[in-house]
Amino acid sequence: MERRRLTGQLGERVALAYLLDRGFREVRRNYRCTLGELDLVMLDGDTLVFVEVRTRRGAGGVRPEESVDAQKQKQLAKLAHHYLQSEGGWSGPWRVDVVAVTLGREASVEQVVHIEHAVEDADGW
């Protein structure tokens, strides 16, 4: 369990750096509520972006982005709505993205995949 947690934390740091390098601004990390957790909340211009980070070690098996199934997408939409309702009236545009990080040996970063609008029907959850 410890290795899995450390892998996830490393993936979040990689994803944050990746997004910051592309002009995103950090709003919040690890927003937790009774529904679960949002890994990152960022601003992309005037759009609030809820970011799910998925991290895997090694190139074999399921790619990290493939683990965001329909059930997880629905949960992410609910989490985003909860954040919007409880954290002070955001009225601008928003979306849910996924950043998938694949790590290699010695925790080297092999690949970062950023999927914008990863939850297609976030408004109609």
Query: Strand ranges (DSSP E) for 1-125?
Result: 25-33, 36-44, 47-57, 94-103, 109-115
**Residue bearing the bigger pLDDT, 50 or 119:** 50
CATH of the domain at 71: 3.40.1350.10
Report CA 105 to chain centroid distance, whole Å.
23
Enter the pTM of the model: 0.89
Are 101 and 109 a contacting pair, CB within 8 Å?
A: yes
The pLDDT assigned to 125 comes to 42
pLDDT exceeds cutoff 80 at 23: yes
Domain count, the chain: 1
- Domain interval for residue 46: 2-124
* Cα separation values, 27 from 24, 39, 124, Å: 9, 11, 24
Mode of pairing for the β-strands spanning 47-57 and 25-33: unpaired
Question: The dihedral of CA 87, 18, 113, 25: what is its sign?
Answer: positive
pLDDT tens-digit profile of 57-106? 876 666 767 667 788 889 999 999 999 998 877 888 999 999 999 888 77
